[in-house]
Each structure stands twice: as structure tokens, then as C-alpha cells.
Structure 1
């Protein structure tokens, strides 16, 4: 089964960590610098796409999870009819292999989305698809977490609480927990799991679980596979304030390498 969020899609937007807020002005800045339509890989429930569209930018979003896209579509139904709103086109598809009849000024894979591709051949194929769909002067921005210097069995950890909050819209009390029970150090894949424990206003409780295996990269490894795909890296950061590498995140801004020899 391909990796995506299914069971807990309707709870995804309750997560308000800084990773899921601070990147929005970052992507907007680049969208203004490279005007045109944007392709978002792993668009999920529309966190990034809706923000950019609210600024008048056209966005195409691809996601493998029908459940996440259903949440996104429900949001679209509640968006006020605004002539300044950019057009949004949603596609149920897989970022590891896609073919669209257009090219984009910017392609983004925000917050861990790219790490859901765990097979190395699929990773390269995805990057080559991305390159194919970029305008000649377009950019691709990818964001992955920066792993610990040593990734081994010590990564495994028991279930613990990540956050808890009241859902203002429903009044439900939600606790998010997570744990990791396996790591593949050869293929660099971790196996985190997360659970949402929901207490409804009528007192009923429910535990919703999703699993999301993720490939992890060190910066030199991600750099190599990007170069192998026929793209070059023009900027690299560790946070959305453009801090230099060796921080919490690895953020690469990439362009097509005009010297690469690929048939398209």
C-alpha cells in the first residue's frame, strides 16, 4: 500500500505546530518571485494550496489520499465566491509517477510529503516527473526533516503525547499521540505511527490510528538524488526564515539543469 493519511484525514487540520504555519509566507514569497501556476505534491487538506489561492494564485494539487482530498473539497465548498481567488484543480494521483498536460512555474512538496516515497527507484522517478513539469525557469521546493547524526535502533520510541487541544468547531477534545517501532537503516526508512484520541461532546471516545513510513535523508543524500534527476540546487535552508543548513529542516530550492541530457 502506498503511504498516505487515510483514517485521520478529518483531524489533520487540528495540528498547529510551527512547521505547519511558518512555511506559508515562505512559499508565497517564492510564488511572487516566480509567477504562474503552482503544482503542490501531497496537497492534503489544502493548507498550503488554499493559502496561495487566497492570494490570487492558481494551484493544482495532487494527493494519493482520497480522504484528505475529500476534506479539501469540503473546504472549497465553504470558500466565499471571491473574484480574486486563484483557481484550484485537484487530482487524485501519486507524486511518484504523474503526467499532466502542462508545466508549472513552481512545484512544491511541503512538510514531509516527499518522504512518503520510500522506494529509491520511485524517488528518482518522481524527481524526473517534477523536472519534466517545470517551466524552463521554474523552481521546485522540497522540505524534509533533518535527521539525527546517528539513526539506528535508538530511534525507536514508545507511545507519547504530541499535543492536546479542543476542536473549536466541534467542541471535541483531541489528544494526538505517536510512537515508532521500527527503523530500516539500510534503506533509511522509519516507521512512525500516530493516534488521535477523540472525546466527543456526548462523552463517547474513539481512537483513530494511521501509519506513515517515511524515508529520511541527510542533506548530501538528498542533494545527490536531485542532481541525478537533472536538476540543480540554487538555494538551501534549514528553516522558513532562510536560516542556513544544519538546523531542524532541509529545504532545497531547485531548478532544471539545462545541461542535463534527458528525453522528455
Structure 2
């Protein structure tokens, strides 16, 4: 049997169930948790994360005693985070990052880790998000986020065929995720099809399909976008260690003041 979920459900039951197991292999260690944790410590005040998900990064900050707010549009991802029993200094809000209002709360640091900004597909959505960020920044506050740096030898393709990218065991099942990618270069979109194959005792019992899109950005596109939104002191790095930007590392790290 094959179950399919499209964009609206990308962080629904399938993704939320396997998210931590998948990205403990794919993402760690990348240096991003340490990067955002240091920014939070240096900010000397409350922190807001957009797209906090299951708390992979935010919990590492909140457990240091820093007051945190985690915002995410997926109730299921937030439910996973709540089951981890976060400290009382961590508040969770279910809202879209391009349309949120936290009242009078202001933050010296707002960040959107692990490619979250790439779920904003249009310039209108991106500017709406940046406007929300600026409204919620304390005077002199900083906004930080990361996206991947497009690698030209990859995005010249029209399609990447399905391949296995992670394998793990969970709830007495073996889970193998296969991912295929289609590129829409006119819209600067990657369209991913992720198939989670579930097996027991060597026999495939189910396939669950999740399809999602990710917008890719070029360096000066991001700089222009941030300046247009009213940000200043825009810095672009090529890694979480502060290295100069290039297209080799695959990372684009952005910091700006509101």
C-alpha cells in the first residue's frame, strides 16, 4: 500500500514520526546547533526560532536557561517537541512564519535554522516573513538563518533520480528513505519526492510518500531581499565557522540587523 502526502502535509504524521531519526544521521554534526547556541548566548535576552520543528536546535538553547519561543506551523512537529518535556522557559506557538503576531514581545535574536526560509516560495511570502521578523526584533536585534548554496553542477540538471539517502530502525521496523528531485529553474524550486519504505523481517509492508518543494536562493538575491525589507549590516558566510562565502561548501549563512 502507498500513502501520499503533498505540500500541505509535509510536516504531518509521516515526517514528524521519522524526523529526528532521519536528521540525526543526515544533519549532525554540521555545526549549526553550536552556531545558533552561541548567537543566543551573546544576545543576552529571549530568543525566537521560526520553524522550530521538533526542537533539534531550540532545546539546546533552552536548556542553557535562555528564555525561548519556538514558532512552527505544524501542530504535529510541536507535539513531538512537547513530548520531550522542554524546560518551562520554552514557549511554543503554532503559526506561519510569514504571518505571526506575538504582541509586545521583542527579541534580540530571531533565527530560522536548517533551511526553514526555503519553505517561502514567493517574494511576497519572503517579504511578509521579513516584515514580521523586523516587527519582533528588539532595537539592534539580529536575524540569522541558513539556506543551502546552490551548486551549479547540480541545479543544471532537470531531475535527480530516486536514491537511498538514509536507513534506520524504529518501532521494530526498518525504514529506508529514498529521495528523488525535480528542478524548476524558472521558479528556482526543487521538488522533492521522499518515499519511506517500511519493512518487517525483511519484507516490505508499506510505502509512505511525502512531496515537498524548496526554494533555492543565490547570494546577492538574498542580500537585495534583506536590504529591500529594511535590514542593515547584512553578512553572508559560507559555513557555520564564519568562513568566507563560496559555492563549494554548500552552505549560505546569513546575519542581518533589523
Normalised to the residue count of structure 2, the TM-score between the two structures is 0.87
1:251 aligns with 2:253: yes
Map 1:1-264 to 2 at 5 A: 2=8, 4-6=10-12, 7-14=14-21, 15-17=23-25, 19-21=27-29, 22-76=31-85, 85=87, 87-101=89-103, 102-149=105-152, 154-167=157-170, 170-181=171-182, 183-200=183-200, 205-246=205-246, 247-256=249-258
Name the CA distance, whole Å, in 2 between partners of 1:120 and 1:216: 12
The separation in 1 between residues aligned to 2:70 and 2:28, in whole angstroms, is 17
Structure 1 residues 146, 152: CA separation in 2 closer, same or farther (over 3 Å shift)? closer
Distance in 2 (alpha carbons) for counterparts of 1:3 and 1:251: 27
- 1:152/1:243 CA distance change after superposition, 3 Å: closer
Deviations 1:133-172 (A, max 9, x none): 11112111110000123675614111100021234xx343
Q: Decide whether aligned partners of structure 1 residues 153 and 248 sit closer, same or farther in structure 2, where only a CA change above 3 A counts.
A: closer
Which runs of no fewer than 5 residues in structure 2 stay unpaired?
A: 1-6
Residues 75 and 155 (structure 1), Cα distance of their counterparts in 2 relative to 1, 3 Å cut: farther
1:3–1:199 Cα change, 3 Å: closer
- Structure possessing the higher relative contact order (Cα contacts under 8 Å, 6 or more residues apart): 2
Distance in 2, matches of 1:150 and 1:11, equals 30
Tell me if the contact between 1:198 and 1:205 (Cα under 8 Å) persists in the aligned partners.
Answer: yes
- Conserved? CA contact 1:151–1:185, under 8 Å: no
Task: Look up the match of 1:259.
Answer: none
CA distance in 1, matches of 2:140, 2:208: 43
Cα contact 1:8–1:209 (8 A) shared by 2 = no
| Structure-2 separation of matches of 1:60 and 1:103 | 11
- Per the TM alignment, residue 244 of structure 1 is displaced from its structure 2 partner at its CA by 1.5
Structure 1: segments with no counterpart, 5+ residues = 80-84, 257-264
Q: How many residues align?
A: 246
Tell me how far 1:192 sits from its aligned partner: 1.0
Deviation per CA, 1:44-91, whole angstroms, max 9, x where unpaired?
Answer: 111111111111111111111121111112112xx5xxxxx4611111
Pairwise CA RMSD: 2.2
